[in-house]
Amino acid sequence: DTGVSQDPRHKITKRGQNVTFRCDPISEHNRLYWYRQTLGQGPEFLTYFQNEAQLEKSRLLSDRFSAERPKGSFSTLEIQRTEQGDSAMYLCASSEIPGQGKGLAGVKEQFFGPGTRLTVL
Amino acid sequence: SQQGEEDPQALSIQEGENATMNCSYKTSINNLQWYRQNSGRGLVHLILIRSNEREKHSGRLRVTLDTSKKSSSLLITASRAADTASYFCATDQGGSEKLVFGKGTKLTVNP
């Protein structure tokens, strides 16, 4: 399977524990995105990488959240001192880099992984 | 905050009928995308329409975009039970790389 993969698929933890999720993008994709989705809502952007550089972070990404993509391939998302409000589906997506220049050329779709469902008790 | 708002929030139809979902957004965009999500699963990309396009087709899917009204519609023709899923529209925000999703329309197709 050459799609985006995420591990684990499910994680149950107690409040205050740290958790780490992994995302493996499609191999030729330079961009990697993290989103969070709560029940009944659409995904909300957290952060994205181009190769190993983290280029944008949402205000949703509090100090307890950190994401890395050390070699420009897989990425990890760590949540420290988890809270019940962190319970959500964490989605990873990857894409190619769009063409150079402004405007409409080369928009690249994002391919999503199956997600990691986090439950904080 | 979420930019897109899908309408209706839920839609229930019989197999063979057409399903129409609408999406409205607030800021200028370069493109709008529609995704499908089966219960508890990841998102599947359906179709992308650029801001200079008015209509696009892909199989049983037809998407329209009206930038003057900041709205889009997704039509699924001859629906099947397998089309049962949540459908989301997603927009860029005038050049940002992140996607901004609406809350989705939950479609149920009854056999």
- Bigger pLDDT: A120 vs B30: A120
Closest alpha carbon to A69 in A87, A89, A55: A55
Q: Does B45 touch chain A (CB under 8 A)?
A: yes
Secondary structure of chain B: what % helix, strand, coil (to 5)? 5, 55, 45
Band (A104; pLDDT cuts 50, 70, 90): very low
Q: Residue B53 in contact with residue B82, Cβ under 8 Å?
A: no
Query: Cα distance from A89 to chain B (closest Cα, Å)?
Result: 8
pLDDT digits (tens, 9 = 90+) for B47-100: 999 999 999 999 999 999 999 999 999 999 999 999 999 999 999 876 677 889
Following DSSP, what letter does each residue of A32-71 receive, concatenated?
Answer: EEEEEE-TTS--EEEEEEETTEEEEE-TTS-TTEEEE-TT
Query: Cα distance from B73 to chain A (closest Cα, Å)?
Result: 17
Average pLDDT, stretch B27-43? 89
**pLDDT over 90 at A105, yes or no:** no
Band (A101; pLDDT cuts 50, 70, 90): very low
The pLDDT assigned to A106 comes to: 57
- Find the closest chain A residue to B43 by CA distance: A112
The pLDDT assigned to A74 comes to: 96
- Find the closest chain A residue to B94 by CA distance: A103
